[in-house]
Each structure stands twice: as C-alpha cells, then as structure tokens.
A and B are shown apart, each in its own frame.
Chain A
Amino acid sequence: MVTKTISPSRGPAKTSGRDRAERKLAFRMTAPSLVIMALVAAVPIGYAIWLSLNQYSVRTAGLSRFVGLENYINALASQEWWAAFGQTFLFAGLSVSLELVLGTAMALLLNLAFKGRAVLRTVVLLPYAIITVVSAITWQTMFQPNMGLVTNVLSTLGLPGGDVVWLGEHGYAMAVIVMADVWKTTPFAALIILAGLQVISAETYEAAELDGASKWQTFVNITLPLLRPAIVLAAIFRTMDALRVFDLPFVLTRGANGTESMSMLAYTQLRENRLVGEGSALSILTFLTVMVVSVIYVRFAGGNIRDVAKEEQ
C-alpha cells in the first residue's frame, strides 16, 4: 500500500514531530463527527442510565426519586425478566444457526457460474427488503388456523400440523417466529458469506484439484476455514439483531406462548405502563446482554480467526 512505501524513507526523529502534527490535524478534522457521535450515541445512553436509576411516580407526572440500583435488582429478581431472557436466547440461537447454515448453502449456490446469476442475486434479497412488521403480518396470515395457506396445505396433504393452532401453542409459536426471521434474514447472511467466498482465489481450488481432493474435502478443508471470518461477521450481526427482537413476537403473538423477548418487556414497561425507571433499567439490561455477547464473539471467534490466518502463513 501507498503509506507503507512512503514511511520508511522518513527520518525517525522528524517523523514523530510530523506524526504529532498530523495526528493533531486528524483529530481536528474528525472532531465534528466525534461530537455528533457523542450527541447521538453517548447522550441517550447516559440519559437512559440516569432514568434507570430513578423511580418515576405514576401518581404525579414527572415526580422522581433516586433509587440507585433498585430497578435493576427488581428486574433481576423477577421471573418475567429471566423468562424473556431465556426465550430471547432460544430464539437467537435457533434462528442464527439456521440462518448461517442456509446462508452458507445459498452463498455457495449463488457463487456458481450460471445464466441469470446477477438477477437471482438481486431477487434473493427481496425478503430482506420487506419491512419486518409487514412480513410478520404475512406469516400470521399464512399460519392462520382454518384459512391460512400453510395450515390448509398441511391438512389437505394429510400431514401433521394441519390442525394445529400454530400461534396459539407453546413451541409452535416460537417455530413460526424463527421461520419468519430465517426467511427474512437468510439472504442477508448469504450476501456477507458470498462476499467472503468471492475473495477465495480460484488458484487454491485448482491446487486442491491437482492434489486429488474430493469436492467434500475441498469444502471442509479449504472453503469453510477461509469463509470463517465472513461467517463470524454474519453471526455477530445476526446475533445482535436477534437479541433485540421485538417486531416479530409483537405482531405474531404479543408475547404469548413463551415468545416474550427482552425488548418487548422493556417496551411494555416504558410505553404502556409509563414506568420510565423500570423500563429504562430493562433496556439497559438488554443493551448489556447484547454488548456482552458481542464482546465474547469478538474475543473468541476473533482470536480463532487470527490463529487461522497465522497457520495459513
């Protein structure tokens, strides 16, 4: 790269002075965006944290008293929080793993050379372009008992599930929500993985072929390890999204039948019950949960990537 070729030609003493000046300039140039970032990100977070340390009176509008960590203690001691916590993780685990498997398969297919590939790559993204609430309503209609498409087809074919009230039963309701999410966001995962796939050079495959590797061996020993960074990236994005899930259960079940997510719980307290302190504490807990999971991902999965990269060299 350009910078690399220039820097060695500079004298070491001079560079530090110049570097400092340059760094100062860089700071000055980025300062406006930093300020905006702080306003957009830090201020609301700070405000939410402050709100979560207070209890707001429902009796008298705006009256608040400082309660420290009481809202957090109450939330962590409540059954609802842990139920929502477990349900959200169950949803995230199921949907993200399905999305990654299907997304990888989809990416491999889209990477093949065939006629109309460009068109198909675009078409495949359509579900992702549909607003979640709209797709949730579509899924709700499809699983409608008595007249829904899915239930009708299943019962006409005599398959199990035709007489099940999908959104009214434990287990089934979660299955519909996972399906809706997988349908919508698999293309997104596929796109990221496809990008990773395209970076793998054809020469590697040629070499493998010359060495007599089978298709499966090539996939397991070459494609998958080299795809890993892309898959991890897709996993991070999808997990963060899945842990904040709100619209699907809100539209499909209103949280009934073991589908209430952490975000829904926060919404109910904040918006419906106007319990600002309790609701803010719940959103902060959701935020921390997402944060911790992402850090774990970056730490462990990220470390693996580095090892893989080293091995290659």
Chain B
Amino acid sequence: MSMIKNGLAAIAAGTISVAMALPAAAEPTKFDFWFGLSGDLARVVDTMCKNFNESQKDYEVVCTSQGNYDATLQNTIAAFRAGKQPAIVQVYDVGTATMMLSGAYKPADKLMEENGYKIDYADYFPGIARYYATSKGEMLSFPFNSSTALMYWNKDAFAKIGKTEAPKTWEDVGADLQAMKDAGYECPMAINISANESWQLMEQFSAIHNQPIATKNNGYDGLDARLEVNKTKFVQYVTDLKKWYDAGLIKIKSKDLGQDMVQAFASGTCQVIMTSVGDHGTVGKTQKEGMNWDVAELPAYAGTERKNSLVGGASLWVLSGKSDAEYKGAAAFLNFIHDPKTALFWSTNTGYIPVTKSGFDYMKGQGFYDKAPYKGRETAIASLTASEPTEITRGIRLGNFTQIRAEFGTQMQAIFANKVSVQEGLDTLVKNGDAILDRFQQTYPGKTLP
C-alpha cells in the first residue's frame, strides 16, 4: 500500500515538475485572426492556421470564423469600440475605403518592415496590389483570397450548335444563346441579379471595358466621387441582358428560387454562367456525370480594347492597439501566408488564385494547372493581368459600397420585373448611390483617402 502511495507521489511530483517546466520553455504569444469564410473554406483556413502553429514555437494564431464578410466587419467594429479587437481581420474588397478612413489599422507594409520581413510588393499582381494600396502605392493590407469572374460554358451544348469555343464578344453571346434556344435548350444562360452580383455584372464588366463606375477615377481621387453607370457602356449591357431575358435566352437563378447559378450549370440545366473562379472546384465536384465544360474570360463588346478584370475576395488588415509581441506574431503569420507553398496549398483546396507572381510561377512549376480538376484556373490570372491596370481598372474606392451594391440589386430587380425601363432604373441607382456617397463624405468631413 505504501509502495503504491509512494509511486503515486513520485508520479505526481514528476507531473508537477513537468508542468512547472513548461512555462519556462517559452509560452507562445497568442493572437487572434478573424475571418469571414465559412463551411468548406473555413476548414481550409483552420488547417492553414494549424500548419502555421506547427511550423514554429514562438506564436500561436487563434483563427475564428465570423460566418461571412458582413458579420466579420460588424463584429470587428463592435470589438474595436470595446477595445477587444483581433490582431488580424479579413475584410472584403469593397470594405477597403471604409477601412482606409477608419484610422483603426496598422499599415501592413510598415508592420512587416518593423519586424524585419522584406516583402517584394512588386511581386503581387498589379491588379490585386493596387486594389489594396494607397494612391502612393503603400500596401495597407495583405491580399489574401483573390478571385475574378469567368464565363463557364458547357462544351456539349456549344457542340450542338457547331461551336468549339466560348464566345468572345457579347454580340456572339447573343447569337449563340439564340442558337441554343433554337436547338431546344430551356436555359441557355443563367444570371442572378442580387446585390452581390454587382461584382461581376457591373464591376467586372466596367473594368474589362475600361468604363468608370464613378467619377474621380472610381473614387481613388476623392470622397466627392459620384456614380456614373447610367451613361457608360454598362447601359448597353443591361439593355442586352434584359432583351435576352425577355426572349427566354437568359433565366434568373438564385438560391431563393430553389437553385443557384452554379447548381444550374453543374446539373446541366443551364449552359452558360458567369461566376467567380472560386466556384471552379464546386462545379468540378458537383457536375453532372460526363458533362464537358470549360471556363473562358468574360466576353467584351466587339471593338473593345480589353483591360484587366477586377480582383474580388478579401485582404488581411492588421488592427491598431495591439502589443508589440502580438504584432511580431501577426507579421510572422502574414509572412507565412505570403510563402508560395502556402499559396499552392490554399489554391489547391479552394479555387482562389495565387496573389503573387512567384506563387503563380511556383504552382505552374509544380504542374498544378496541367492537372484535370484545376485546368482552366489559369484563365483567371490571364483575365486579371490582361493589361496593366488603368486609372479605373485598378479598383473601386467608394465608401459604403455595400449599400451601393444593395441599391444595384434593387434596381436590377425593378428593371427585370418591368417596373422601370433600363435607363430609369440605372438613373435611380445613380441618384440613390450618390446619396449614399454623400452621406459617407459627410461622416468623414475634411478627410481624404490615403
């Protein structure tokens, strides 16, 4: 009995000494990272965080999904006002102007420099970098998950109308959709007209055609920018989409109606869709057995001198008010994400594109784009780098852009429901959007974008 007791005491003593020794072996610095991805994508982020934590002993990142981009920003603002903000937060593309004026961040380039990391910012694809940089080119946040819109086309359906290539111009799209309709296809093309689709219908279209969305170079040159999508080529585009919708060449597909665009395409119901390259993996995983499909760059009107499409997705912001130790960890984490190997892991598992040239080259070198499920994703890079970004294709810098997108959805619905004409709808979009911009400007009197 006493032997057992002694043995237990020895074990207990041993345990205690081990437990006491642990803190001495450098407790890692913990810091928070909040992000807006969920489901499958959130699991990939979690794995990435785990990989980072296992790669070194000094820091431990605690990654928490906030559900979606909107909620992430809302929760971060609430936390910031209460002084409990995370060190790093993922903010979607259109939140950039709001973030820039928040005064609540630590510039990413400064953070990296202070902590001894040399990042070659020229390595980022220019279309991606400029979205998140100041007008002087300083990187305030780190591009993270990036994408752009592509046209997904069903090769079998196009074969039926004697085509082996995706249409390159919108004129061709009209003719091809009609031919498919004549060949008996119920839904030649699917679109959605919700607020979020502003991204590919209004923003991508405008960039590719080098058409402004707002004055002052899409807002880069001042908070007094105002919308002008009611007098650009965009009017023609909406007119054509509406015409094709009325002729039954386009169907509206959304989750609310039972089946979203991606499902409609993957199931073979609809033959053409335009959506993010981020959906490439989903289509591949859920497609109808034996269906042949491919992706192509979004079409442009005949005679257009094609420009780069816009980046979508989100970037990572480092918030102000954290300790130096946490900033050290945040810098190490951003450096880890910047690594081409992490880019390969990230892109393989999500469909998002690598954000740096070195990441892209590394993936090409690994033969990534030659493999079956990933083939075609390089089209997104081609689209993003189709040209050197112009003053208006480098991005959009408008305050409260979420509300403007909501207004876009509202007016598109009014147009497609025949409540207003195309011109009336877009005029209202501009009028209401300007009021939103006006309000943003009033909220930040005397301030200018960095």
To the question of whether A and B form a pair in one complex, the answer is no
A interface, CB within 8 angstroms of B: none
